[in-house]
Structure 1
Amino acid sequence: MKRTIIAGAAGAVLAFGSAAVMAAAPDWSKVPAKDVTVFQPGVSPVEWIMKGTEHGGARGLKKGETCADCHHSETADMGKKMASGQKIEPTPVAGKAASIPVKVQAAHDGENLYVRFTWAQPKASGAPKMDDKNPVKIAFMLESGGKVEMADQAGCWATCHGDSRTMPGAAETKLKYVKGGSLAEGKFYDLHQWRSGEKKAFDGYVADKRVMEGGKALTGAEGKLDGGNWTVVFTRKFAGSEGDVKLEAGKVYNFGFAIHDDNAAGRFHQVSLGYKLGIDTKADIVATKQ
């Protein structure tokens, strides 16, 4: 794929994909936005989420409720507790944004899905850089059919385990994974990520382990910092290859995203709860045709 860096007085733009693909982007002024606040999750792997003695919401989850049912309006407050070290974060990063309000939009043209994220750049913490190559990374995941256990309730938390890297005492070689994950059985998350410093976008998946490349659905990713505000747009085909979730009009997909702000790595990101993305059908975020 062609990668082009476009620079101007308004800010820095990274385009990944062909000019024809990027030119097909929707008129975003006509697309409704969903307000989602991503927050620091601390050490809250899925095992902690489901441990009723530590997380009171475990009972609700076992009854079929979702994390967003209980916590959508209080994620900023939750982030403050983790960022301060008050709760489930043994090594907080002083000055790092506890949460980030993000506007999420989606649209399609019948062949391609477009997902747009916009947010204000938080103040830098001044802490040592965990990822010195990338001031910002943003990723979103899709899951189809609820084949991954808890994907329809807890978003990407089904990939977050206590033995994954950057968790206390975990091996640095242990990547994110899905319990019982299998591409052949359709038990996986489709993963798309954009990195600001490396000037790259990645199309991968999370099954028995996280794989950052190999997908064929992502055809474009463009990021821009303008006046202290980020805009990142992903373009992906409805159909791809192994590790790509096939999209269809009238269907709903499990959706979650995360921002690695302030040169963060591992669990020190800001993450969303789990939401639903619908293609021409009712959901938390609806991609309608333009």
Structure 2
Amino acid sequence: MDMKRTMIAGALGVVCAVGFNAAHAGPPADWSKVAATDITLLYPGVSPMEWITKGIEHGGARALRKGETCADCHSEEANKMGQLIASGQKIEPTPIAGKAGFIPVKVQAAHDGGTLYLRFSWKQPKAAGGAKMDDKNPVKIAFMLDDGKVAMADLGGCWASCHADSRTMPGAAETKKKYVKDGALATGVFYDLVQWRSGEKKGFDGHVADTRVMEGGKALASAEGKLDGDTWSVVFARKFAGGEGDVTLAAGKTYNFGFAIHDDHAAGRFHHVSLGYKLGIDAKAHITAAKQ
């Protein structure tokens, strides 16, 4: 009888192990087989949400009021816009000599039923002539998620966290971090923020509500990056469910999505940013994470 029970227990253990592996298979073994979406990040200069919505200098303000997204108008010209701004010809009072105007990035996504995997890859731009604002980290990459509660996130991605009074903006206090209108964890009005830093070689799981917080989240499982020749690749593993400040993901749903790269030791607003896009979990979107 003891032998029989042992055999049954062993069989059940195998079944449970197989079931767990099937549900949580891990990241794709071969990313080359996962569809990639090409997204161009642009250098934004001084273009906070207040400038975008005012309409005096930004002609697209009227289109925004009609419900058109930033990507609807600008996705095909992001490179030209970034070059114009980085050169100092428009909305950049302190241009950095040699600053890249844009960075083309390939974005890939997949999931295993319980964890989202995001892979970003891009070629390292030529170094600029500016000072090292963040001497610890040559490169940082971050993405934000919103499940429909942050005002304007559906139109501008993470731009809703960019304000004229935030640090590194002209005349702003260095103590003022990113924030969103009416942001509060208690009401669910926040961006889920995840970041990887190259010099520190680790990931950060935070959020942006009434202020930006770089820790406290429980959803980030891992963040790893490497530079192979002149090409960076960074892979995030982010659990569907986490804790405070984590947006809960579910199959069949889409989320507002934006990301940014701080290149060449940049900090604050001196980064390259995406326009606003949609990330889908087994759902049609600009970037779709399909189950592996």
Pair in the same fold by TM > 0.5: yes
Q: How does 1:259-270 map to 2 (within 5 A)?
A: 259-270=261-272
Alignment match, 1:49: 52
Higher strand share goes to which structure?
Answer: 1
- Cα shift at 1:266: 0.5
Write the distance in 1 (CA, Å) between the matches of 2:256 and 2:97: 33
Task: For residue 126 of structure 1, report the CA deviation from its aligned partner.
Answer: 3.1
CA–CA distance in 1 between the matches of 2:222 and 2:201? 12
> Is 1:223 matched with 2:230?
no
Aligned pair partner of 1:74 in 66, 72, 77: 77
Q: Which residue is equivalent to 1:5?
A: none
Q: Deviations over 1:157-177 (max 9, x none)?
A: 100000000000000000000
The 5 Å alignment of 1:1-290 reads 24-26=26-28, 27-144=30-147, 146-290=148-292
Report the Cα distance in structure 1 between the residues aligned to 2:282 and 2:100, rounded to whole angstroms: 34
Task: Identify unmatched segments of 5+ residues in structure 2.
Answer: 1-23
Gaps of 5+ in 1: 1-21
**Structure with greater Cα Rg:** 2
In 2, the alpha carbon distance for the partners of 1:24 and 1:52 equals 46
- Match of 1:254, SS? strand
By relative contact order (CA 8 Å, sep 6+), the higher-ranking structure is: 1
Question: AA paired with 2:259?
Answer: F
Identity score, percent: 76
CA distance in 2: counterparts of 1:60 and 1:172, whole angstroms: 33
When normalised by structure 1's length, the TM-score is: 0.91
Number of paired residues? Answer: 268
SS in 1 for 2:76: helix
- Is the CA contact 2:110–2:118 (under 8 Å) kept in the aligned structure 1? yes
* Misfit runs of 4+, over 2 Å: none
**What TM-score do you get using the length of structure 2 for normalisation?**
0.91
